[in-house]
Amino acid sequence: MRGIGLYVHVPFCAARCPYCDFATAPAATALRTRYLDALAAEARREGNALGRPRARTLYVGGGTPSLLEPDEVGVLAAALGAAFDLRPREATLEANPATLDAARLDAWRAAGVTRISLGAQSLDQRGLAALGRTHQVSDVAPAVAAAHARGLAVGIDLIFGWPGQTAADWAADLDAAVALEPEHLSCYPLELEREREEADANWPGGGWPVVVRWRARAQAAAPQEDAVAAMYETAERVLRRAGFRHYEIANWARPGMRAQHNLGYWRNEEWLGLGAGAHSHLGGARSRNPVSLVEYVRRVEAGEGRTPDPAADEASDTAMLALRTDEGLDLARHAQRFGAGAAGSVRAALASLDGTGLVRLRGDRARLSPRGRLLASEVFLRLLPP
């Protein structure tokens, strides 16, 4: 095995943001210790089964993994180090700006973290309120400075299209983020259509109806689709001028600072996901863990493995993921990997988009145009298996 990307899911959050559909749970859940024990047990089991593979990249996501206590970080790092050959070229921690105190940052750095992905979401207090976030704008700059002071690279995540946001508000958010001198920026439109009721399962009393009501109100006040599209184009313009390369639909990086772990997903390489709701892609097969903490812990304690995802289609997944990036899809390589028939289907699907200006095909290389990045779902629909 050439090595894997290793993803570790820490679901705990201080509060549930109403737009979120990740596998999350209250930080004070009675299951916290059992969950962390289950993570360590799953790491041991999978590390053994795979022959203690090299983890080329590590990504600790959530949830809010940055709110683990320093002693919990040490225990988790020791478990991962015992189960895997952990010499990653990049180790990323997802962090909430309000949780990055010196003790926690030092613990994560000692555990090998090289990069922080900071969920700022907005640098406008009205934006944070509209998104139901609990941190303050004033938390963000100190968190970036503290990470930089320890030699860690910083990526800032922003959400655009929040209820009430104007074009000028978004331009100001981008300027404020650039002024913090991050190495990486991710910009996502607010998604209100997704519904994953199962993500509610870990929040007793939180209640799906609360989220549904918030979404209905947010929908009514959110900018129109064309205004959101214009915001995306503003991000492309502002970040290009600021020296960032737009290398994936939602991601921009300074030279040499692309997110290597996420590139592994977009290249459809092999990765192992540990923890509730985590997905894996190993040996050409996809599988996942349950979102419910109760069910995840029960399964690990019972020695049960992940659930296979038989619906996944390796060839079309690979094509769609490759098109997300500025590398694009190499159709000759696609033919070598999946056969001439699979590559022919992709060519035919892309040909059906002729005249739309969404895709550029030069020789064997297909890439999304700027308009195609904006309307990528139109392209991906054509690439779905029959």
- In the complex, the residues that contact ligand SF4 under the rule CB under 6 A are 13, 16-17, 20, 22, 24, 62-64, 96, 119
For 92-105, letters b (16+ CB in 10 Å) and e give bbbbbbbbbeeebb
Q: Rank residues 20 and 152 by Cβ distance to ligand SF4 and give the closer one.
A: 20
Point out which residues pair with 65 in neighbouring strands.
none
Question: Closest distance between ligand SF4 and the C-beta of residue 82, in Å?
Answer: 27
Q: Rank residues 53 and 119 by Cβ distance to ligand SF4 and give the closer one.
A: 119
Neighbours of 145 (CB within 10 A): 14
Q: Rank residues 213 and 240 by Cβ distance to ligand SF4 and give the closer one.
A: 213
**H or E element in which residue 279 lies:** strand 279-282
Q: Rank residues 128 and 366 by Cβ distance to ligand SF4 and give the closer one.
A: 128
Q: Cα(136)–Cα(370) distance, rounded to whole angstroms?
A: 33
Q: Is 336 exposed, middle or buried (0-12, 13-18, 19+ CB in 10 A)?
A: exposed
Question: Closest distance between ligand SF4 and the C-beta of residue 326, in Å?
Answer: 27
Say if residues 265 and 202 touch (Cβ distance below 8 Å).
no
Question: Closest distance between ligand SF4 and the C-beta of residue 365, in Å?
Answer: 36
Within the chain, residue ranges assigned H as helices are 32-49, 70-83, 102-110, 125-130, 140-149, 167-179, 208-221, 225-241, 260-266, 293-301, 314-323, 331-338, 340-351, 370-374, 376-383
Question: Closest distance between ligand SF4 and the C-beta of residue 103, in Å?
Answer: 20
Q: Rank residues 207 and 243 by Cβ distance to ligand SF4 and give the closer one.
A: 207
Say if residues 270 and 1 touch (Cβ distance below 8 Å).
yes
Question: Closest distance between ligand SF4 and the C-beta of residue 142, in Å?
Answer: 18
Q: Rank residues 64 and 122 by Cβ distance to ligand SF4 and give the closer one.
A: 64
Structure tokens at 112: 């090998």
Question: Closest distance between ligand SF4 and the C-beta of residue 296, in Å?
Answer: 16
Reference 295, options 206, 203, 207, 201; nearest CA is 201
Question: Closest distance between ligand SF4 and the C-beta of residue 347, in Å?
Answer: 39
Q: Rank residues 40 and 98 by Cβ distance to ligand SF4 and give the closer one.
A: 98
Q: Cβ neighbours of residue 269 under 8 Å, at least 6 residues apart?
A: 4, 5, 281
Q: Cβ neighbours of residue 164 under 8 Å, at least 6 residues apart?
A: 126, 130, 221
Q: Rank residues 63 and 275 by Cβ distance to ligand SF4 and give the closer one.
A: 63
Q: Rank residues 47 and 119 by Cβ distance to ligand SF4 and give the closer one.
A: 119
Q: Please state, in angstroms and as integers, the Cα–Cα distance from residue 196 to each residue in 147, 252, 303, following that order.
A: 33, 28, 27
R_g over Cα of the chain:
21
Q: Rank residues 117 and 165 by Cβ distance to ligand SF4 and give the closer one.
A: 117
Give the β-pairing of 153-160 and 55-62: unpaired
Say if residues 173 and 122 touch (Cβ distance below 8 Å).
yes
